[in-house]
Structure 1
Amino acid sequence: MPLIEKGHIVEDSFVRVADDEALPEGASVLVGIDRFLTEAEALKARQAPVGVVWPNNRPIAEIAPHLGQLSLIALNFPSFRDGRAYSQARLLRERLGWQGPLRAIGNVLRDQFLLMERSGFDQIEAVKEADAEAFDEATHRYTVFYQPATDARPSLLRQRLGRTVPGVRS
């Protein structure tokens, strides 16, 4: 699956490793939550970056004590109708202060790219190559927003009031 990062198709530097597979030496790894919690101390000692796939049915607050040892958080969209990962992304960015890469994985469709970007995702694992190639068009289709979000685009209310304050969400 193609990986989109900040609007460009990039090579994925993380190797997804199943719970029963050996960790490749020196490679950046992306592991499931069960393995991550079971092997937290051993993973902390690794010399290579570690990322975690966080399920959307688990409270995002549980990840807070581990944020310092993570290099990537991947949030899962098991179905295009399941939007819990949007809420998790905003909570990670706004309440927990996560500054690192946040990846959307699973059933990710072109129509969702703009909302994913506005919710705080900076990496998207697209289902189809054609969707990845259409990222720029999909994220610039709309230019006016009523809702405030984690991105830097001001809401319509802030624009009308002429109050776009740097560093403050609109």
Structure 2
Amino acid sequence: MTSSTAAPETPRGSLLGTLTIVPWSSVPTTETPRLPFLTVYSLGDGAGGPEAGERAMRAHLEKIGLPVTGELVELTQEARAAVTLLVEAEQAVLTLPFLQVQCPVPESWQDAAYRNGSVRLICLTRPWPHVAPGEAVAPEQLRAFLTDDDLRSASSHCLVPVTRLRR
């Protein structure tokens, strides 16, 4: 089980509505290590309804150079100015031009993020009103939603380098 966290309130009248983030990870096998993910989605409760929110999310992502194709893009140190991820003390702080959110992450997720040096960020254009912030998300529920082919092709997928506080 993992749980969702809401981003701080978006401005009144925002087309995006309530933005939510869910940290999760793959199940490690003998061949592949645990891979950490962050999924960002809207509840579809913004001004103009779910369709307007979907268009707004797509526009925000494309404006910062994240393609909405379902293809994985690796953000380098130079090209990641618009997307940053700080992971420290079992907290992930994700910053995009239209979003800044901090969410708790399990120790195993944090360890995987440090080991991999990056986290796979999935920004969904399609709203997901079924999981409100703070609610637990069952792995099968998340898997069923994220493996939809139409959803995948209408999402932005990127590897975001992990930053840490200097010690």
TM-score, scaled relative to structure 2: 0.29
Task: Name whichever structure is richer in helix by fraction.
Answer: 1
Flag the structure with more relative contact order, 1 or 2, with Cα contacts below 8 A and sequence separation at least 6: 2
TM-score, scaled relative to structure 1: 0.29
User: Is the radius of gyration larger for structure 1 or structure 2?
Assistant: 1
